[in-house]
Chains A and B, each alone.
Chain A
Amino acid sequence: MVKYIGKRIAIGILTLFVLVLITFTMTKLMPGSPLQSKNVTGDVLAKMEEKYGLDKPVAEQFLIYCKNLLHGDLGTSYKKVGTDVTEIISNTMWPTIRLGLVTFVLVLVVGIPAGVAMARAKSNKIKGVWLSALTLGVSVPNFIVALLLLILFGVQLKLFPILGLDTPMHYVLPAIAQGLYPISAVARLTQSSYEEVMRQDYITMAKAKGISGKTVLVRHILKNAMLPVITYMGPMVAFLLTGSVVIENLYTIPGIGKEFVNAISNHDYTLVMGITIFIGAIIIICNLLADLICAIVDPRIRKSL
């Protein structure tokens, strides 16, 4: 197990390094200077490029970057002058993480029971309605849901505030908009996995042994049915924690997703790199955690390591 974790962490670090190398190369290939602006010209521009080290050869710039990275220094933003990238990331990640966690809870609380209810439903008609609703949830893009909720419940009915994340009420609309897709996906996954487990011989065996329905449900069915859901949770949590650009823009949430897109369009190389590394690290960690939880839940996986 320890060896497995060590191996996964080493692969994660290597992945991050490749990510840094590719992003660095790509940002350097982008034409135009990040400091190009109507107010900075001639000598002033040259002095500023010198200050940011942009006058040095690209290979040297990369080495300096990697060296600083090892010290936890992601550099200074080119466009938010004088602001450290780590500071920008730490300022913008919390709103995204807060909203991501609320959405995550919503997904668990709604998605899993919905999937179980669907699997246990006897009527095919009800199953059909459920399935249609879930298909709709998966297929409607979140920006349409976000806009529709904003207009209907924010602007028209004025039930919920739509600007920022100041109070718990502010979370309602963006969390629903962000959560609709994962809720539908988790419910669908839970349903199919639950139905699959229900068909297994050990469930019939457990029932035949006279074990109570509740114990069968929790210990035998849910535990096994949750495996694919947990695997899905890895990328899903990463997706929620890295923020949705559209939702953050629409509900004016000063999160990391919005910052990332702004940084790209501003040619803010250091910020783009910093956020890419941050998001990359989150994705790697989430996937690792999902694999570990699977290994803990399922002895077969644990033994195969």
Chain B
Amino acid sequence: MRKVRKLTALLLAAATMASLSACGGGDSNGGSSESKSKTAANEIIMAEQPENGEYDPAGATAYVYFDYQTYCLEGLVRYAEDGSIIPAAASTWESNDDATEWTFHLREDGKWNDGSQVTSADFLNTITRALDPETGSWYVDGLFVIKGAEEAFNNDGNTEGLGVECPDDLTIKFTLKEPTANFLDLLSLPVYFPSNSKYAKSEDPEWDMDTTKNLCNGPFYFAERKAGISITFKKNENYYDANKINIEKVTYKFMNDDQAKVAAYETGELDALGSAPYYVADTYAGKSDLKQSSVLVTNYILFNINMEPFDDVKVRQAFALAVNRTDITTAIGAQSYIPSTTFVAKRYKSKVDGSEWGDVQETLLDENLEKAKELLKEAGYENGEGLPEITYTYPAMSYEAEVAQVLQAQWKELGVDVKLQAMEYEVYVDERRSGKLQLARHQWTGDYGDPATWLDMYREGNSQNDIKWVNEEYNSIMAESAKELDAAKRQELLLKAEKILVSDETVICPLFTTDFLYLINPDITGLKQYSTGGFDFRYITKKAAE
């Protein structure tokens, strides 16, 4: 009997110790020791969120699609590590002087994984399918810069008069509605990627799930899909640069639970973990597994200029100047969240010299409580007296409640009592988009690597301009920048526009940008970083498991 009790006590103690060391320990024998891979040398296994969307550039392109696009497809051009644009499926291109006509010449050795030639018709195939509303493309508005594209979409996909021509198999020419200096950046949107015209047809809506029909022109091909479980890409021997690819197989397992992901990384069942939970910053501190990479995202406050009291620029500025960004990022994890006063993501790399946007742009908003109080007084609300009820709305997810509470405390110091309101994400988006929120949290991740992905949002008539802000000077600078082909001159214009939006008119108040934490097996070498954030695993080498 005593023995039984002792044994039970021992087992319980062992279990408790084990769980404690795994949860919080930095001990090298604990759960956070460097991972040893269990997978083969020529393959890597990673985790992705639960499967969603399609594997069709003209379809519902959720995050899983982007894994597929990264490994399996190649667009006309791509970003180099320093953010510059380099040839990919197109070897050369040219545009006319006002950037309204762009012609691309495809490379002769561009092949699909079945060995057939990649042609201009394959690029046109994605565009025409995307313009058919039946296809349900998520990025179809990225095509609306092309002449006749918006009309085609609103006319049930009838592409008569569309400004895309294929004079021969290896040439594709785009005629745009208006000058678009950043057209090359737009080419990183899914709708500009090719889909094989032999198999990718509207009549066969399931083609993309069938790996024998979903042909690929990238360094890997779509080898296997286990619905809801995993997707596997294998090296494409017909890729023109195949000799630079060292691994044979890449698998993404669909996982939801953070603890499960970290545990699977620790057992070696996963080789790498992207967007790892924040606590790995502590458990893996000082270990070579832990890596960090930027995300092109800005979290900000959106003032509703059509509602009192934010119709007064002084009130908006008072609220913005009362914000202390470091307090916010400290509350939610200083390693992953970095204070920022720019709307364009702070870590975005300038096309002029590769430096970060946060360094190129001046500090757009001071953190000055006294000045904030002064501005509020000038607006006629000394110490917040006379202000209507103010509500800050945020989606009920991740760290948003903490951010809201810190902001509430900071505005309290300004003399204003702000009510907090959490909403379910879809409801919050719905309310924000219909202009019903007085003061709201907002976040924008760049769709492509150019400041216009952020700054275009607040141009007159843009569908993302939720508060319908109209500023003639801003609009004309943005229109001018769209025509400017000289990178340095264009950057000056964009910097000026951003200053109007944030400093002069303070329609928005940027708060912070985000870095993702990664756990990557130290046996993996040759990692590169994308200029748009994140790690590039395509050219890696992996040591064999012991």
Decide: A155 and B136 in contact? CB cutoff 8 A: no
Q: Mark A25-44, 1 if CB is under 8 A from B, else 0.
A: 00000011110111111111
- Stretch from B11-19, B180-188, B356-364, B385-393 at the A interface: B11-19
Within 8 A of B (CB), among A42-62: 42-44, 47-48, 51
* Smallest Cβ-Cβ distance to B21: which chain A residue: A156
Interface check A154, CB cutoff 8 A: yes
Residues of chain B contacted by A156 (CB below 8 angstroms) = 18, 21-22, 31
With an 8 A cutoff between CB atoms, is B42 at the interface?
A: no
**A280 sits at the interface (CB 8 A):** no
Interface string of B14-50 (1 = CB under 8 A from A): 1100110111000000010000000000000000001
**A13 CB–B CB distance under 8 Å:** no
Q: Does A187 contact B (CB under 8 A)?
A: no
Question: Which of B78-86, B238-246, B421-429, B510-518 lines the interface with chain A?
Answer: B421-429
From the candidates B23, B138, B154, B426, name the one contacting A39 in the complex (CB within 8 A). Answer: B138
B259 touches A (CB below 8 Å): yes
Minimum C-beta distance from B270 to chain A (A): 7
Among B246-277, those with CB < 8 Å from A are: 253-257, 259-260, 263-264, 266-267, 269-270
Per the bound structure, the CA–CA distance linking A44 and B1 in Å amounts to 72
Q: Is the CB of A155 within 8 A of B205?
A: no
Question: Beyond A39-B138, A154-B267, A252-B253, is A31–B229 a contact (Cβ under 8 Å)?
Answer: no
Residues A33 and B426 in contact, CB atoms below 8 Å apart: yes
Contacts of A267 in B (CB 8 A): 426
Q: Which of A111-119, A157-165, A236-244, A296-304 contacts B (4 or more CB under 8 A)?
A: A157-165
The listed residue (B256, B260, B269) touching A161 by CB distance below 8 A is B269
Contact between chains at A155 and B424 (CB < 8 Å):
no
Contact between A152 and B19 (Cβ–Cβ < 8 Å)?
Answer: yes
B51 at the interface (CB under 8 A from A): yes
With known contacts A32-B426, A39-B139, A148-B15, A164–B464 Cβ distance under 8 A? no
Which residues of B are found within 8 Å of A155, using beta-carbon distances? 22, 31, 263, 266-267
Q: Which residues of B contact A87 (CB under 8 A)?
A: 227
Verify if A171 is at the interface (C-beta below 8 Å from B): no
Binds B, one of A76-84, A188-196, A202-210: A76-84
Are the C-beta atoms of B134 and A51 separated by less than 8 Å? yes
Task: Give, as a whole number of angstroms, the nearest-CB distance from B62 to chain A.
Answer: 8
Residues A254 and B263 in contact, CB atoms below 8 Å apart: no
Interface flag for A86 (CB, 8 Å): no
Instruction: Among A40, A91, A125, A155, find the residue whose CB has the most chain B CB atoms closer than 10 A.
Output: A155
CA distance A125 to B464 in the complex (A): 71
In the complex, per-residue mask of A142-155: 1 if CB is within 8 Å of any chain B CB, else 0? 00000110111011
Interface string of B226-237 (1 = CB under 8 A from A): 011100000000
B522 to chain A, nearest CB (A): 18
Give B181-236 interface residues, CB cut-off 8 Å to A: 205-206, 227-229
Q: Which residue of A lies closest to B256 (CB)?
A: A249
Given contact pairs A36-B430, A51-B133, A152-B18, A254 touches B260 in the complex (Cβ within 8 A):
no
Interface-centre pick from B134, B205, B263 (highest chain A CB count, 10 A): B263
Interface size on B, residues (CB 8 A): 55
With a cutoff of 8 Å between Cβ atoms, the chain A residues found around residue B427 in the complex are: 31-32
**Which residues of chain B from 49 to 65 have any CB-CB distance to chain A below 8 Å in the complex?**
50-54, 59-61
How far, in whole Å, are A156 and B60 apart by their CA atoms in the complex?
41
**Are A129 and B430 touching (Cβ within 8 A)?**
no
A259 at the interface (CB under 8 A from B): yes
Assess whether A259 is in contact with B228, with CB atoms less than 8 Å apart: yes
CB distance from A127 to the nearest CB of B (A): 12
Contact call B254/A254, Cβ cutoff below 8 A: yes
Q: Is B302 positioned at the interface, with any CB of A under 8 Å from its CB?
A: no
CA distance A9 to B50 in the complex (A): 36
Q: Using Cβ atoms and an 8 Å threshold, which residues of chain B touch A152?
A: 14-15, 18-19
Q: State which of A40, A82, A161 has its C-beta within 8 Å of the C-beta of B267.
A: A161
Do A162 and B264 touch (CB < 8 A)? yes
Point out the residues of chain B lying under 8 angstroms from A276, CB to CB. none
Chain A residue at smallest Cβ distance from B264: A163
**Is B153 engaged at the interface, CB distance under 8 Å to the other chain?**
yes
- Give the distance to chain B from A256, nearest Cβ to Cβ, in Å: 10
**Chain B contacts for A51, CB-based, 8 A:** 133-134, 136
A31 to B464, CA, bound (A): 21
- Complex-state Cα separation, A147 to B221, whole angstroms: 37
Does chain A have a CB within 8 A of B141?
yes
Query: Which residues of chain A are within 8 angstroms of B21 by Cβ–Cβ distance?
Result: 156
Residues of B within 8 A of A23 (CB): none
A231, CB-defined interface residue at 8 Å = no
Alpha-carbon separation in the docked complex, A267 to B428 (Å): 13
The chain A residue sitting closest to B51, CB to CB, is A80
Known: A32-B429, A82-B60. Contact between A41 and B19, CB under 8 A?
Answer: no
Partner of A81, one of B50, B59, B153, B229: B59
26 residue pairs from A and B, CB less than 8 Å apart: A32-B430, A33-B430, A36-B430, A37-B138, A38-B429, A39-B61, A39-B139, A40-B138, A41-B141, A51-B134, A81-B59, A81-B136, A82-B59, A91-B228, A129-B4, A150-B260, A151-B31, A151-B263, A152-B15, A152-B18, A164-B229, A164-B253, A249-B256, A252-B255, A252-B264, A258-B256
Beyond A36-B430, A156-B21, 12 additional contacts (C-beta under 8 Å) are A34-B426, A36-B426, A41-B463, A41-B464, A155-B263, A156-B18, A156-B22, A163-B264, A163-B270, A249-B260, A262-B50, A267-B426
Q: Which 7 A-B pairs have the closest CB atoms?
A: A32-B426, A81-B60, A249-B257, A39-B138, A32-B427, A254-B228, A41-B463
Chain B contacts to A: CB under 8 angstroms: 1, 4, 14-15, 18-19, 21-23, 31, 50-54, 59-61, 133-134, 136-141, 153-154, 205-206, 227-229, 253-257, 259-260, 263-264, 266-267, 269-270, 424-427, 429-430, 433, 463-464
Residues of A within 8 A of B (CB): 31-34, 36-44, 47-48, 51, 79-82, 87-88, 91-92, 125, 129, 147-148, 150-152, 154-156, 158, 161-164, 249-252, 254, 258-259, 262, 267
